[in-house]
Amino acid sequence: MISTPRLTPKKKELLESMQIIDGMDILLHYPFRYEVIENKPFEQWQVDDKVVFEGVLASSMKLVRYAKNRSITRFTVLTEHDLYEISIFNRPWLKKISIGTKLTIYGKYEGRQKVVATTINEQPLQEQLGIHPIYHLREGLSQKYFEELVKESWKLNKDEIIEFIPENYRKRYRLYTKKEALYHLHFPSKMNEVQQAVRTMKYEEFLRFQIVMQARRCQNKQYELGSCKKFEQEKVWKLANQLPFKLTNDQRKAIEHILQDLASDSVMYRLVQGDVGCGKTMVAMFGMYGCVLAGYQAALMAPTEILAKQHAENLKKFFQSTSVRVGILYSSLNAKEKQEVYQQLSEHQIDILVGTHALFQQQVHFAKLGMIVTDEQQRFGVQQRQALAQKGDKVDVLMMSATPIPRTLATSLYGDMDVSTIIEVPKGKKEIQTYLIKENSIRSIQKRLEELMDEGNQIYMVCASVEKNEDFSARNVQDLYQNLSKAWQGKYRVGFIHGKLKSEQKDEIIDCFLKKEFDCLVTTTVIEVGVDVKDANVMVIYDAHRFGLSQLHQLRGRVGRSAKQGYCYLLTSSKDEESLKRLQLLVDHSDGFEISQCDLKLRGPGDLLGYRQSGIPTFVLADFISDQKILNQSRDDASEILNRLECYPLIQQYLIENAKNYINYFD
């Protein structure tokens, strides 16, 4: 039984806000750094060294006030070595200490026996030496208080700590037991104990993650024998030769993978990842063609109606020379239209159905569904994908992601899927010119924007919110629309769109924008995926610091879709160095792989790849950019362990207990 130290309601609430609920959570809240307090012999002191030493106050304290609430106190201290001159800022109360008092002083050595102190106390130095963990804590919780909590929690729970890493692996890599690791993380006596403990916990985090992901993969492969789809691959490649352009090698490889999956006897569970505009949708079309040739139906699910319609049009064009029949279904069709689609679908008069959420409603019956494709997979809920897959028997699943990560990482992070990666971008694509504007206004670029519109370009103006919001100070669609309409009245036509509008309204607006009835569209991120407007080559993003890096990259992927130059202006009034550095990354990099890697480093995979709250274990200490060696090792070990799962009852137990948490992930 896990026990929790007694807490006042206030402290309890504070801890809960940090996701610390019980005594074990306290032990799993690791220090984020350590302060090492050691006394270096005086002879070895160098200028700028952080020093700590003991001495006796040798002069009275002289206090000089030089501004309101500002002061400096100077005094001398006699150590066993010499007389030192100490100064310390803003401690006017110190002057009460009497000469002869023994003091311990922390500070910075300035050279020539001078020290600028940061802390002075009267406890003996000997009692203060050692390594002190420092924890990330909310205001209202002191380091000292938390240290006590950790001590108490340790006493209460040290025998409740469950090992995860099997003994043979632990010994192979000379890791601590989990109990030892936690002890050394919280109560280290040497820094190399901390390192060893961190190494242990990193390996555990990776191993746990790998085991869960790979277990899911085994499950897919073992229990879901698919239908071997029989078709002539030649026919697919023949269609490829009719394209006005050449497929890139990566596209060809991805298509090969998909066709093999379709023909194989296990269910396809594949992710195609690549930067915006690398031609993923194209790849999916060939896959669906294979499926149709084998006599099955395919469904393509898009996150928005606008996108679904575009896909349907593209598919119809693409399949013009074939007998493939494409249908479309979305909620705003009228009852008669819908009925017609339902009927054609159940009578197998439609081969490929493109649509939105409407695809997985109850009335939808496929005659012979063989494959589903989800475009922009991170946008779909798990249940939605599941509901659609259940409309057929052993349906092959193909997912598209525009948040690509390097191959080596992908094999690890998407351990439960097969991954095809498209790196090559079709020739002739121009890099989008991106600028960081350090104010949340278009003042400095207004002329340029007007020029661009005069040249026939259209502009997206992206806001982080729809309307004014007290708790969220960001430029909003409504205000901006009003301001711009006024400013550009009679010169440029401005429209607006956001997710709260009805779907027919949204369609109409996009349609108007497509027909160039607006020069400028004020919008939220509803246009993030899919919309293809040939002349929309300029994007302005307000409050850019409020968006994730990958999201910004995807947003700007909306412009420069044709051969014309695309421009993206990131506006922010943030003064935060980190935020500005992040945004600068977008100015400097145009490669989606690099950007998602930076994003992963900043936000972790949970947020970026959608694991959060999926029951998939996440990482606290492990960082799979800098710890790739451990990551790869844990991947191999996890596969070894799963192959002999009967030898590892604790892991078996863990999988069983957690199955209900992660079973739905990506299904």
Binding site for Mg ion (CB under 5 A): 281
Partner from ligand ADP, Mg ion, none contacting 426, C-beta within 5 to 8 A by type? ligand ADP
Nearer to ligand ADP, 105 or 282 (CB): 282
**Which tokens go with 455?**
């040249």
**Which tokens go with 292?**
């149709």
Give, for 422, the enclosing helix (H) or strand (E).
Answer: strand 418-422
Residues 6+ apart with CB under 8 A from 484: 461, 494, 520, 522
Partner from Mg ion, ligand ADP, none contacting 303, C-beta within 5 to 8 A by type? none
Partner from Mg ion, ligand ADP, none contacting 472, C-beta within 5 to 8 A by type? none
Distance of CA 99 to CAs 54, 61, 71, 583, Å? 14, 9, 21, 55
Grouping H, G, I as helix, E, B as strand and the rest as coil, residue 396 is: strand
Partner from ligand ADP, Mg ion, none contacting 279, C-beta within 5 to 8 A by type? ligand ADP
**Which tokens go with 597?**
């890697």
Residues 6+ apart with CB under 8 A from 438: 572, 573, 580
How many residues in total does the chain contain?
667
Least Cβ distance, residue 531 to Mg ion (angstroms): 11
DSSP state of 279: S
Partner from ligand ADP, Mg ion, none contacting 612, C-beta within 5 to 8 A by type? none
Q: How far is CA 220 from the centre of its chain?
A: 25
Nearer to Mg ion, 531 or 598 (CB): 531
Distance of CA 532 to CAs 310, 358, 457, 511, 562, Å? 8, 22, 14, 11, 9
Neighbours of 112 (CB within 10 A): 8
Partner from Mg ion, ligand ADP, none contacting 236, C-beta within 5 to 8 A by type? none
Least Cβ distance, residue 565 to ligand ADP (angstroms): 16
Nearer to ligand ADP, 401 or 572 (CB): 401
The residue whose Cβ lies closest to Mg ion is 281
Nearest 5°: phi and psi at 64?
A: -120, 120
Least Cβ distance, residue 243 to ligand ADP (angstroms): 8
Partner from ligand ADP, Mg ion, none contacting 107, C-beta within 5 to 8 A by type? none
Least Cβ distance, residue 462 to Mg ion (angstroms): 19
**Which tokens go with 273?**
């990842």
Judged on CB neighbours under 10 Å (0-12, 13-18, 19+), 44 is exposed
Partner from Mg ion, ligand ADP, none contacting 70, C-beta within 5 to 8 A by type? none
Nearer to Mg ion, 385 or 545 (CB): 385
Least Cβ distance, residue 426 to ligand ADP (angstroms): 3
Question: 272: closest CA among 262, 260, 259, 257?
Answer: 257
Nearer to ligand ADP, 246 or 612 (CB): 246
Return residues touching ligand ADP (CB under 6 A).
245-248, 251, 274, 276-282, 426
Nearer to ligand ADP, 278 or 630 (CB): 278
Nearer to ligand ADP, 99 or 243 (CB): 243
Question: 218: closest CA among 638, 646, 647?
Answer: 638
First to last CA, the chain: 34
Alpha helices in 158-279 (DSSP H): 167-172, 178-186, 191-223, 233-241, 249-263
Nearer to ligand ADP, 375 or 599 (CB): 375
Nearer to Mg ion, 226 or 274 (CB): 274
Least Cβ distance, residue 359 to ligand ADP (angstroms): 19
Judged on CB neighbours under 10 Å (0-12, 13-18, 19+), 229 is buried
Partner from Mg ion, ligand ADP, none contacting 155, C-beta within 5 to 8 A by type? none
**Which tokens go with 118?**
């940061």
Least Cβ distance, residue 281 to ligand ADP (angstroms): 3
If you compute the radius of gyration of the chain from its CA atoms, what whole number of angstroms results?
31
Partner from Mg ion, ligand ADP, none contacting 104, C-beta within 5 to 8 A by type? none
Nearer to Mg ion, 272 or 642 (CB): 272
Partner from Mg ion, ligand ADP, none contacting 558, C-beta within 5 to 8 A by type? none
The residue whose Cβ lies closest to ligand ADP is 279
Least Cβ distance, residue 279 to ligand ADP (angstroms): 3
Question: 284: closest CA among 425, 394, 420?
Answer: 420
Least Cβ distance, residue 280 to Mg ion (angstroms): 5
| CA–CA distance, 530 with 572 (Å, rounded to integer) | 25
Nearer to Mg ion, 211 or 555 (CB): 555
Nearer to ligand ADP, 235 or 246 (CB): 246
Q: Are 621 and 181 in contact (CB under 8 A)?
A: no
Least Cβ distance, residue 618 to Mg ion (angstroms): 28
Neighbours of 101 (CB within 10 A): 11
Least Cβ distance, residue 409 to Mg ion (angstroms): 22
Least Cβ distance, residue 381 to Mg ion (angstroms): 19
One-letter amino acid of 665: Y
Partner from ligand ADP, Mg ion, none contacting 93, C-beta within 5 to 8 A by type? none
Handedness of CA 612, 613, 617, 619 (dihedral sign): positive
**Which tokens go with 132?**
């002190």
